[in-house]
Chains A and B, each alone.
Chain A
Amino acid sequence: MNKEWQPRLVAFFCNWCTYTAADLAGVSRLKYAPNVRVIRVMCSGRVDPQFILDALAKGADGVLVGGCHPGDCHYVEGNYKMLRRYHLLKRMLKDMGIEEQRVRLEWISAAEGHKVRQVVNEMTEQLRALGPLGLPQKFEEWDREVERLAADVHAREAADAAAACAGRTSAEEVTHA
């Protein structure tokens, strides 16, 4: 079995266009990268930026949002809402140190099965080139700072207690005070 790292791509596809296009890609027997995990939402306008951040924080290397072409939204305005959020979210993510190619918005109509294949393949290759984002591992690494301290505190308190028992004042008494 190939144990090599594989990019993980989370995709939010709207029920009316892009998810249908992914179905079409399936019945048309188009092959595309198996790295994508598709989540169906009723509209790209339902994609809260919190979903995207959460996907990344839980280990996704990239997030793809697919919606109807402008003017085609089943709910009239939803895809425009996503488009506006996308622009500000991208700027915010850049300031937080996340590469631009990791989050992408695409308009894919129900007839564009081939575009699902093309976008998923493209993005998978881009993510492979970028390497893992690895946020869960990063959070763990950051928190080791605190675990180390907890161990330090216990060690110092034990030493202080021992010093107190021996009836002498610790040389480093109230070092924090």
Chain B
Amino acid sequence: MPKPKVAFYWCASCGGCEETVVDLAEDILGVVEKVDIVLWPVAMDFKYKDVEAMEDGSIFATLINGAIRTSEQEHLAQLLRRKSRYLIAYGACAQMGGIPALANQFPREQVLRFNYEEAPSVDNPSKTRPQTVVEDNGRRPRLPAFRNVVRTLDQVVDVDYFIPGCPPTPNLTKAAFDALLSGNLPPKGSVIAPDVALCHECPRKASKPTDVAFTQFTRPHLTLADPGKCFLAQGLVCMGPATRSGCQAACINGNMPCTGCFGPTSRVRDHGAKMLSSLSANVAARDEQGIRQILDGIPDPVGTFYRYGMARSILRRRVDLGVNGNGH
């Protein structure tokens, strides 16, 4: 019997998710033994036309990481969807937009202007910007179009499963492969990770006060965190109460609070709103001025609570931005 075919693809991402596949270390040999990798741009030389030539549905599973922002990413997502039996959103960006989706706070024009004109490292006096088509000695090279909106994978194509994390851990990746290859799969649309909050598996759980009562908020770079005490009890924003577990509290063990890369549990629709709710309700003050003063310790609520989840949130994007031309 031929081995099942597996493809990996990356969209708007940093490459960290690809690292995790490599981080399977010797376990990757077990995976490679059982599957045939047919596309993996970061590691192997296959061409898109090789994929195009395949029969629809002939790839057993495709893991796509990264958010969707360009027409190329949309195109490949559609192509791989058609060719694959299971399409899996791999990592926080494919699942929820991730860090790239923070750009949904800004117009497209501002993103382009900064990156091609204003960034301190840019030297571009003619203000050249990438064009989708140019004329070059009779050739017409083309570049993908840059969209106004950063999207999750499931906002572009139908997705079967989600593997969370920035990046997903090798353990989760291995568990997902085991589930796929054994056919022991959860219902379609599931996030393949435990469905409880991170606090549940947090080594500092015992030091979490029943009544947190924040009198001030601080930030990791402004304080030396006690390595044995619940971050919330230290006035640090830790997304643990609203975030899915499954990372084995990796950041907590590195003495950094959770920033929410695993997204919410299945009972929560909007990760950021839920965390905002939990955190602010526990502010100690009762008067408006006191409340405001304490909450001022969170200077950027959107970037804090939607660090990975902007595209997946209820609002998805700054609502006064358009989709025409330069995003105004």
Contact = CB atoms under 8 A, between A and B. Distances in A.
Contacts of B144: 176
Nearest to B75: A153
A48 B315 CA distance: 15
A57 interface: yes
A138 B319 contact: yes
A17 B45 CA distance: 68
Contacts of A149: 71, 74-75
Given A57-B314, A153-B74, A142 B142 contact: no
Contacts of B31: none
A144 interface: yes
Interface stretch (B20-28, B167-175, B195-203, B298-306): B298-306
B276 A85 contact: yes
Contacts of A153: 74-75, 78-79
Interface string B144-155: 100111010001
Nearest to B279: A88
Interface of A: 45, 48-50, 53-54, 56-57, 70, 80-81, 83-85, 87-89, 91-92, 95-98, 133, 135, 138-139, 141-146, 149-150, 152-153, 171-177
Contacts of B314: 50, 53-54, 57
Contacts of A91: 295, 301
A87 B295 contact: yes
Interface of B: 47-49, 71-72, 74-76, 78-79, 105, 140-142, 144, 147-149, 151, 155-156, 268-270, 272-274, 276-277, 279-283, 285-286, 288, 291-292, 295, 298, 300-302, 305, 313-323
A132 B76 CA distance: 37
Chief secondary structure at chain A's binding surface: helix
B319 A176 contact: no
A87 B292 contact: yes
Contacts of A135: 315, 319
Contact of A50 (B270, B281, B319): B270
Nearest to A51: B273
Nearest to A79: B286
A89 B322 CA distance: 23
Contacts of A177: 47-48
A96 B318 contact: yes
Contact of A88 (B78, B276, B313): B276
B319 A144 contact: no
A57 B313 CA distance: 11
A85 B314 CA distance: 17
A50 B269 contact: yes
